[in-house]
Amino acid sequence: MEMGFIGLGAMGEPIARNLIKAGHVLKVYNRTRSRAEALAGQDTTVVDTPAAACTAGVVASMLADDAAVEGVVFGDNGVLAGLPRGGVHISHSTISVNLSRRLADAHRQRGQLFIAAPVFGRPDAAQAGRLIVVAAGPPEAVERCHPVLEAIGRKLFVIGTDAPAANTVKLGGNFLIASMLETLGEAVALMRKSGVDPATFLEIMVGSFFQSPVYENYGKIIAEQRYEPAGFKLRLGLKDVRLMMAAADEAGAPMPIASLIRDNLISGIAQGLGDLDWSAVARVAALKSGLKT
């Protein structure tokens, strides 16, 4: 399929490479042009604007936050202006439910189609094509883009026609991960204060009760205090928790644990941890326990 791709950061770049590997022909745009030029080749063309990436009628975007998505979609020479009638915009970004609703409405008014398809996984999973993709949007658009959605992950869930539902699932999933990081960080701090080897504790817990790659992978990071390089920065984790709390507020669903996690993430940023992996919220727990590192 000929398509465009916008946003070539830590997640977008490996996703685009996997699309190329699967045989798709891309027009790529990135605000920092050098990142796009690194993909230039026989099946990839670098373009100067988001609108120019949309001419084939299908475009995917992977951007950092609501502001970046709004600028690319609604700005001059943006996706809305460049996508032809009947064209499809696939958004892989983790954005607010409210913005997802606005995007669906804006595309609908122009005779375009919008699919929300956020992904679960860190950059290494993106490179390996092992992401979990959660998609929602018009059935005809999802069917048309099925090969694209399948090319970037190991599992695709299509959960319905209402695009914002996919973003709600993504925020809920990230809340579960953030909750795990908080409680695991507190438990590891307890082990260290009590003279118990965190690796031994994790071997018992992960091997017996919490058999999950999320616990296993993040557990090693926390036990080894290996927060760099960041797979997902702590400051972006705070962004996602705030989006989740906004969604919960709109839905009238109290989530008190989210408030605690938000406050600890804010504390982490205040202590200079914002650019570390978001699992460094465990370091906040350690510092509160009187541990120096």
**pTM of this prediction?**
0.94
In Å, what is the CA distance from 197 to each residue of 206, 221, 230, 286? 14, 14, 24, 14
Out of 22-31, 205-214, 244-253, 255-264, pick the least confident: 205-214
Class for the domain spanning 2-161: alpha beta
User: For 183-228, how does the pLDDT look when each residue is reduced to its tens digit (9 = 90+)?
Assistant: 999 999 999 999 999 999 999 999 899 999 899 999 999 999 999 9
Token pair 């996997």 is found at 18
For domain 168-288, which CATH number applies: 3.20.20.60, 3.40.50.300, 1.10.1040.10, 3.90.1150.10?
1.10.1040.10
Q: What is the mean pLDDT of residues 233-259?
A: 97
Domain with CATH 1.10.1040.10 in the chain: 168-288
User: For 52-97, how does the pLDDT look when each residue is reduced to its tens digit (9 = 90+)?
Assistant: 999 999 999 999 999 999 999 999 999 999 999 999 999 999 999 9
Residue 21 clears pLDDT 90, i.e. is over it: yes
Model confidence band, residue 118 (pLDDT cutoffs 50, 70, 90): very high
State what percent of residues in the chain have pLDDT above 70: 100
State what percent of residues in the chain have pLDDT above 90: 97
pLDDT at 41: 85
Catalytic pick from 27, 170, 233, 239?
170
Domain with CATH 3.40.50.720 in the chain: 2-161
Q: What is the mean pLDDT of residues 236-262?
A: 97
Residue 292 catalytic?
no
Radius of gyration of the CA atoms of the chain, in A: 20
